[in-house]
């Protein structure tokens, strides 16, 4: 400081005197400025003075200047590079939208899965309901098949006791008879098929059972396959029954035609059973299927079979004795066993032992019972419509005149009474009083039973 003062003093000694008046104020100002520089800066605020040193002052000024320049530069940068912020904001928005879209997609997928599962469950329930309804239908069909009665029997001549033993050899297997005792049809496989056609019980699977199978479709496929098999068996059984009944009707009508009998007269001779009830016509609905139509045809055919059975019950096409048939003399001209001259034999002689049962070959009424000349003890049965049968040379008679007899009923016992050379049965069939060959009827019976 003292140096600065000396300098000023020396400087003033070199100026001319005329300049002293002008430079005095300048020197005063320079001295004031120097004093201020030495003494710092003072700020007046609210009547108070705050003094700063020059170093602090310039540091503050520099700091404010640097901050201002930095703010200006930053503002300028963002003013010219606002797309960076825009991109950042857009990127953030895009990420948020993508996240929201992903969430929406997952929700939609969950909803679709739930809807698909619900739809699959509904479809499964619908298919299962259809299967249950189909099972109910098949069960009703099985019941209808089981309700079809057997109509093959037209009255049988059984062989109890000694007669059965005569037909059974030591091996225990009955010997085949060349002439059948009665109409014996080969039993169709309908009974076995009806048993097989019983539908399996289909129960609705429970939720815990679904886990035991690979899928609902496998369950439905197995159930459908099972029901298809049952339906095929039922249709096969129904077809077998229908074919059997139709064949039976043809054979019955053929037998009656071959014997030259009048169907109308035979039917009129059948005694009426005490039956009745209101008339309810049978109708098929418009939605009837193949099974219902076929069952309707079977019922119609069955009614015909039953009617023919009642009619054929009056036709003597069965043999009067049990066991193998052996004729000792046929129908027609022969040499008389006592006179040795040609004579007409009006019946068939069956070899049999004394006491063997003699059975009626058709339904009818006894019109003669007792001794009848060369017949010895004889029974004559009227079967109606001009048909009658005679049983001669009996040792015993078990029926009386006016008594109604059924097929296979024992009417007497084999003997050798009358004009006979030994125990046998003389059997005749007559139409309107005229003797006809009994073998014609017996052959018809064999043909009828062979079906």
Domain that residue 46 falls in: 22-80
In this prediction, residue 15 carries a pLDDT of 46
Same domain, 415 and 368: yes
pLDDT bracket for residue 172 (50, 70, 90): very low
Same domain, 308 and 373: no
Is the pLDDT reported for residue 102 higher than 90?
Answer: no
Among 100-104, 193-197, 211-215, which is the least confidently predicted range? 193-197
pLDDT bracket for residue 400 (50, 70, 90): very high
Q: Across the strands, what pairs with 45?
A: 48
In this prediction, residue 29 carries a pLDDT of 58
Q: Across the strands, what pairs with 350?
A: 327, 425
Average of per-residue pLDDT across 227-250:
85
b/e code 212-242 from CB counts within 10 Å (16+ = b): eeeebeebbeebeeebeebbebbbebbeebb
Same domain, 380 and 299: no
Same domain, 307 and 382: no
Tell me which residue of 416, 411, 417, 421 sits closest to 390, measured CA to CA. 411
Question: 196 or 276, which is more confident?
Answer: 276
pTM here is 0.56
Same domain, 131 and 259: yes
In this prediction, residue 254 carries a pLDDT of 86
Find out whether 140 and 232 touch, Cβ atoms under 8 Å.
no
Question: 244 or 48, which is more confident?
Answer: 244
pLDDT bracket for residue 30 (50, 70, 90): low
pLDDT single digits (tens) 53-84: 777 778 888 898 988 888 888 777 766 666 66
Is the pLDDT reported for residue 208 higher than 60?
Answer: no
Q: What percent of the chain has pLDDT over 90?
A: 22
Average of per-residue pLDDT across 316-330:
88
Same domain, 301 and 331: no
Task: State the angle between helix axes of 216-258 and 438-450 in degrees (0 to 180), rounded to the nearest 10.
Answer: 170
For the record, the structure tokens of 91 come out as 């990127």
Greatest mean pLDDT among 35-39, 158-162, 186-190, 377-381 = 377-381
Is the pLDDT reported for residue 181 higher than 50?
Answer: no
3 state DSSP class of 404: strand
Same domain, 248 and 348: no
Question: 362 or 167, which is more confident?
Answer: 362
Could you tell me which residues come within 8 angstroms of residue 359 by beta carbon, excluding any fewer than 6 positions away? 157, 320, 321, 322, 408, 409, 410, 411
In this prediction, residue 190 carries a pLDDT of 44
Same domain, 257 and 382: no
Structurally, the chain folds into a number of domains equal to: 3
Could you tell me which residues come within 8 angstroms of residue 137 by beta carbon, excluding any fewer than 6 positions away? none
Same domain, 331 and 411: yes
Same domain, 336 and 300: no
In this prediction, residue 36 carries a pLDDT of 53
Same domain, 298 and 422: no
In this prediction, residue 5 carries a pLDDT of 39
């Amino acid at each position: 400081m003292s140096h600065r003062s000396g300098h000023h003093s020396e400087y003033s000694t070199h100026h001319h005197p005329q300049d002293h008046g002008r430079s005095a104020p300048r020197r005063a100002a320079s001295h004031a400025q120097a004093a201020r520089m030495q003494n710092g800066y003072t700020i007046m605020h609210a009547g108070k003075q705050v003094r700063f040193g020059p170093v602090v002052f310039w540091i503050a000024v520099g700091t404010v200047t640097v901050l201002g320049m930095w703010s200006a530069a930053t503002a300028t940068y963002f003013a010219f590079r606002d797309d960076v912020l825009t991109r950042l904001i857009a990127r953030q928005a895009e990420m948020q939208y993508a996240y929201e879209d992903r969430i929406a997609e997952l929700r939609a997928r969950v909803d679709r899965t739930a809807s698909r599962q619900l739809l699959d469950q509904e479809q499964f329930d619908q298919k299962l309901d259809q299967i249950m309804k189909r099972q109910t239908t098949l069960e009703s069909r099985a019941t209808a098949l089981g309700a079809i009665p057997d109509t093959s029997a037209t009255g049988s001549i059984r062989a109890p006791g000694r007669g059965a033993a005569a037909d059974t050899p030591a091996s225990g297997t009955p010997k085949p008879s060349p002439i059948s005792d009665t109409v014996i049809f080969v039993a169709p496989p309908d009974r076995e098929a009806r048993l097989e056609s019983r539908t399996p019980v289909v129960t609705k699977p429970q939720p815990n059972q679904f886990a035991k199978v690979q899928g609902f479709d496998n369950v439905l496929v197995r159930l459908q396959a099972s029901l298809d098999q049952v339906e095929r068996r039922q249709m096969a059984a129904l077809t077998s029954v229908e074919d059997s009944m139709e064949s039976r009707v043809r054979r019955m009508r053929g037998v009656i035609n071959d014997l030259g009998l009048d169907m109308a007269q035979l039917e009129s001779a059948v005694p009426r059973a005490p039956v009745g009830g209101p008339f309810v016509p049978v109708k098929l609905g418009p939605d009837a299927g193949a099974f219902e139509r076929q069952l309707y045809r079977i019922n119609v055919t069955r009614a015909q079979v039953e009617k023919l059975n009642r009619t054929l019950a009056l036709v003597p096409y069965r043999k009067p004795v049990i066991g193998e048939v052996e004729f000792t003399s046929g129908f027609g001209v022969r040499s008389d066993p006592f006179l040795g001259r040609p004579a007409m034999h009006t019946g068939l002689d069956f070899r049999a032992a004394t006491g063997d049962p003699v059975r009626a070959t058709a339904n009818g009424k006894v019109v003669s019972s007792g001794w009848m000349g060369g017949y010895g003890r004889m029974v004559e049965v009227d079967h109606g419509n001009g048909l009658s049968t005679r049983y001669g040379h009996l040792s015993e008679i078990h029926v009386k005149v006016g008594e109604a007899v059924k097929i296979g009923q024992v009417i007497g016992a084999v003997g050798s009474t009358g004009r006979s050379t030994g125990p046998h049965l003389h059997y005749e069939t007559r139409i309107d009083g005229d003797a006809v060959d009994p073998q014609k009827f017996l052959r018809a019976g064999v043909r009828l039973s062979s079906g």
